[in-house]
Each structure stands twice: as structure tokens, then as C-alpha cells.
Amino acid sequence: MALLMAASLTTMANATISPALPGLERLFANDPNAAMLVRLLVPAPSIAVAILAPFAGIVADRYGRRRMLLTGVGLFVLAGCAGLLLPDLPAIFVSRLVLGGAVALIMTAQTALIGDYFRGADRNALTGLQISARNFGGLVFISLAGWFAVISPRLPFAVYGVAALFLPLMWKVIVDPQRASSAPGASPQDNSPIPSSWGFALASLVLLQAVTNMIFFVMPTQLSFFFERAGYDSPVITGSALGVLMLSGGCFALLYGRVQQVIGHVGIFALGYGAMAIGFLLLAHASTPPAWFLAASAIGAGYALVSPGFVTLALGIAPIRRRGMAGGILTASVFIGQFCSALLSTPLIAAYGYEELFRIVSSIVAVMSIAAVLKACAIGLQVWKGGTPTMEWRPAAKQVSAPRPNSGE
């Protein structure tokens, strides 16, 4: 539960203030750079995460995860709530960078702890629950922020104070596991990945995850402005649409473990990217809120299906003593993609419009889905001919889980 609470802060960090963006732009209209600065407030934490997360991973491997996680949550509360009082957009932007530093500590420690505490099917299940926690947390936090934004565009910053309620449980139950090279019941995959291959495989996952998040983050950074241009300028509409996005993702993430066992990782990627492509295509051609909500539901479901695979595969191939570093690099790739999303999508919107942007994004994700289908066919053909796949994309054999460390042992 403590790890899932930490996971829920990820979506909260960036997208919580999305419904307030038009109001913040009006509030600071006297700032000549208001249009760009306001749009960068959502992905701003990504800059700090991208820079700090790999270093946080190295620190986590050397000094442990517990202190890093608790420090990150405390800093998260202070930096997140700072927007309630800060006087101008540049100051708020700086506070968002500090918030990103907190997120780097939280996500790196949390990802490494998942690898330390769980193995095999348990780890697959928990990575799905992690994405579900992010989405259900986003549903609550973003919907609440939408209502708060009606009262004041500053009020959504107060939502970050919720993280303070998580600290007591984390303080009580999160412990650093013993840093042993092996553990009873550990699998060879956990303890001795192939040194010559795991670095390249991790780099591939990192790149794919960055692109995936760059595409997905078009939703929280641009959706409110798309609705406003269409004549629906209420923050409640944006909050509701993003709430549907999170609810759909949360529900489908709960199914990740079962679906992955049936169709494997490549099948999950094909299905998830296909759903995202359909959602963006519908968003490009729809003109009513119900259709927009349906599109958001498809995008959320697809993203929730593909996201756990990055963590599961990375933790499976990284050596035990490098899990913190792997978690840090994965964390950095998520937020690099998020930050690049606003930088790339805003000029495209200025040149071609929102509908054309959604068509372009839909085409890119459709190609990714087709590539996954072709990969699945290649693996199936190789297995049918009696060969062994070059990379273990299918579920591993059932493993015996090692005892999980806790404060009572």
C-alpha cells in the first residue's frame, strides 16, 4: 500500500494543475511569456526529473531507498503547495522544478523497491497495480483540481498537500532490504542477467518509454486549450475528460497481469498502442463532449496497458545492484518524454491546428502497434520452427518468491 501511495504521486505531480491552465494564463496576462510559461508548468517537473533521476538511482543503489523516498515525499508537499503563495509565473515555474526533484527521489526509490520486494508473477501484478494507482490517484486529484479551479486558478496547488497524509504509513513500513547478491528463492534472471545484453535492452526500453510518454502527454498539456477553442471553457470539462482518461487507465491496468500472461509483452504493446491510435483518431474527428470522453477512455486504456511492461522488463533484465540506476533512468525517460511533448506539440498546433496534431499522433502510434504485431508474428514463427526467441518477451516460468523484508523480521 505504501508503494502504491508513492506511485499515485506521479500523475499528481504534473497533471493536477491542468484544469487551471487557462485561468492561470488569464491571471498572469501581464507577463509577455505567459502563454508558453503556463503550458510549461505541467511538464516543468520533467526537466528536474530527467536531470536528477539517474543520479538518484546511483545514490539509491549505494545508500538505500527508505531515506530517499521519505525525503522526496516531504519535499513534494512543500514544493507542490508553493504555487498557492508565489507572486509570479517565473517563481511558480521554479517551484515546479523543485517538485520535479522530489518526484525523481520518489519514483526512483519506489521502482527499485518493487524490484527488491517482489519477483516473477508478483512483480508483474504489482507493476500493473502501480499504473492503476497512478490513474486512480489522477482521477481523484485532477477531478478535485477541476472543481478547485472554478473557485481560483491557484487553489489546485493545495491538492499536493494530500501527500503529507501518506508519510506516516511510509515511515512505518518502508525498510531497506538486505543488500545481498542472492536471496533464497531468487531466480537466475534476478541475480545474473547477461552482462553483454542488458544495457542495450534497457536503452531500447528507455527510448520507447520516452516516445510513449511524449505522445500520451499531449492530453494533459493541450486538452484544456482544445476544449476552450471548441467553446467549452469550463475547467470542469477538462477535469472530467482527464478523469475519464485516468479511470479507464486504472481499470485496464488492473487487468495487466492476466492479459500479459495470455498474449505476452509484445501482444500487450500491440493492443495498447492500437487503442491509443484509435483514441487520437477519434479525438481528431469528434465534435461533442461524449465522443471526446470516449476518445480519452481509449487513450487511457492503451497507455495503461503498455506502461507496466517497461518496468517489468527493465527490472527483469537489470542486475540487483543496478536496479536503482535502472529505476532512475526509466524515471528520467518518462519525464523527458513529458517535457518534450509540450515543446513539440505547441508549434505543430500553431502551424496545423489541434485536429491535424491528433491525426499525426494517431499515425505514429498506429505504426508502433503494427511494429509490435510484426514482432509477435516473428516470435511466433521462430517458436513454431522450434527455435528460441532472442529475448524473453513471453511470461517466465513461475518462480518462488523470496521472503519480503518488513519491519517485523
Q: What would the pLDDT profile of 350-375 be if each residue is shown by its tens digit? A: 888 888 999 999 999 999 999 888 87
Q: What is the pTM assigned to this prediction?
A: 0.71
Q: What confidence tens digit (pLDDT) does each residue in 19-53 have?
A: 788 888 888 888 777 878 887 887 788 788 888 88
φ/ψ bin of 127: left (φ > 0), alpha (ψ from -120 to 50), beta (otherwise): alpha
- What is the rounded distance in angstroms from the CA atom of residue 311 to the CA atom of residue 328? 11
Cα–Cα–Cα angle for 356, 358, 362, nearest 5°?
A: 115
What pLDDT is stored for residue 178 in this prediction?
67
Closest CA to 215 of 274, 317, 303: 303
Is pLDDT larger for residue 246 or for residue 392? 246
What pLDDT is stored for residue 203 in this prediction?
82
Torsion of CA 100, 111, 246, 165, to 10 degrees: -70
Average pLDDT over residues 267-273: 90
What pLDDT is stored for residue 293 in this prediction?
92
Whether the pLDDT of residue 189 is over 90: the answer is no
Contact 6, 73 (CB under 8 A): yes
Q: What confidence tens digit (pLDDT) does each residue in 73-102 have?
A: 999 999 999 988 888 888 999 999 999 899
Q: Which of 25-34, 98-107, 189-198 has the lowest average pLDDT?
A: 189-198
What pLDDT is stored for residue 137 in this prediction?
77
Q: What confidence tens digit (pLDDT) does each residue in 243-261 have?
A: 788 888 888 888 887 887 8
What pLDDT is stored for residue 277 in this prediction?
94
Average pLDDT over residues 148-174: 89
Please report, for residues 93, 131, 177, 270, 373, the alpha-carbon distance to residue 96 in angstroms, rounded to integers and kept in the order given. 5, 23, 32, 34, 39
Q: What confidence tens digit (pLDDT) does each residue in 203-238 have?
A: 888 889 899 989 998 887 788 788 888 887 777 787
Q: What's at 26, amino acid-wise? A: R
Q: What's at 396, amino acid-wise? A: A
